[in-house]
Amino acid sequence: MASIYRSAHGQRRVQGWCFDQLDRWSVPHRRFSVPTSRGDTHVVSVDGDAPSVVVLAGTNFNAATCLPLAQALAQRWSVWVLDVPGQPGLSAAERPDRGGLAWYGRWLGEFLDQTATGPVVLVGHSLGGGIALACDSPRVAGRVLVAPAGVVGLRVTARVLSATLPWLARPTDRRSARLLRVMHGPGHQPSPVLAEWMTLVARECRSSLAPSPLPAATLRSAVGTPMAVATGEHDVFLPPSRLRQAVSRSLAVDLEVLAGAGHLAPDEYPKQVVSLVERVIRQDNDRG
């Protein structure tokens, strides 16, 4: 398996950035690693009420980049934010050579087998949403999926390419901010911290391609467990027009549209994600 990093020096720079952000976070939390057959998995944990909410970030993101969402969730429940192996962050660097989302689904199931003592609700964004769908662990009591991969292929427009290619070719914070503006909804400006992160990723990491859609049988296996699926009104990769019919057909739920949000909806509107989690937990309680 190939490393996500271009060099050992680059890996140290990325991990140093993550540690610095976590050290600055004002919310009391624990950090630990869990060994799996797919490599060590780094966890940022905030203790709270049951059930545990497990957060899976999207491509190129991790616990250190989604602290606003983690903080909003931690006001209600126990929260575990996982760095996905093979993505920039504090978990194992090796990406799967094959298997894609199925490989990640098995990884998450193994992680939950080792750590979860009760039911968990998965909150997955983009790549993380696809991983949540691919995981068939009996410990999963609900899923909240925001612009999830794995249902349909991502749309790549000329606007996306015109921001992505210069960012990859010669990354600067200015070019990173331009790419982030494409990913944000109208009126949301990229934070300097996130632009700095994206510049670091482009310089020190190999690009990670979007995953292919999951098999129909895998998607059907998630049906029956409480689930909420949403996307931003202005999501550039998975707009409502692309996702709505596929979600209804494959997952048997109605797609929810987050008004004003772009692809980075969990960063833009963390309280709306909290509301979705509340509803999924209520549905699970009603079933019990």
pLDDT in tens, 181-231: 999 999 899 999 999 999 999 999 998 778 889 999 999 999 999 999 999
Helix extents (H) in the chain:
8-24, 67-74, 100-115, 127-134, 158-169, 173-183, 192-204, 216-222, 240-251, 265-268, 270-287
**Taking 70 as the threshold, does the pLDDT of residue 15 lie above it?**
yes
CA–CA dist 142, 52 (Å, integer):
11
Does some domain include residue 40?
yes
**Region 55-59 average pLDDT:** 97
Residue 4 has pLDDT above 70, yes or no: yes
CATH number at residue 214: 3.40.50.1820
The reported pLDDT for the residue numbered 208 is 78
Report yes or no on whether pTM surpasses 0.85.
Answer: yes
Q: Is residue 183 part of a domain?
A: no
- Domain containing 256 equals 8-155+208-287
Domain-embedded: residue 249: yes
Look up residue 278 and give its amino acid: E
Q: Is the pLDDT of residue 288 over 80?
A: no
Any domain includes 228: yes
Is the residue at 236 inside a domain? yes
Asked whether residue 35 is domain-assigned, the answer is yes
> Token match 């993101």: residue?
61
In a domain, 176, yes or no: no
Give the pLDDT confidence of 65-74 residue by residue, as tens digits.
Answer: 999 999 999 9
Rounded to the nearest integer, the mean pLDDT of the chain is 96
- Give the per-residue pLDDT at 286: 84
Q: Which pLDDT tens digit goes with each residue over 238-251? A: 999 999 999 999 99
Domains: count for the chain: 1
Q: Does the residue 201 lie in any domain?
A: no
Find the helix or strand (DSSP H, E) in which 258 lies: strand 255-258
HSE-CB at 159 with a 13 A cutoff on CA atoms is: 10
pLDDT at 89: 98
| Confidence at 99, pLDDT banded by 50, 70, 90 | low
pLDDT of residue 207: 82
Q: How confident is the model at residue 1 (pLDDT cuts 50, 70, 90)?
A: low
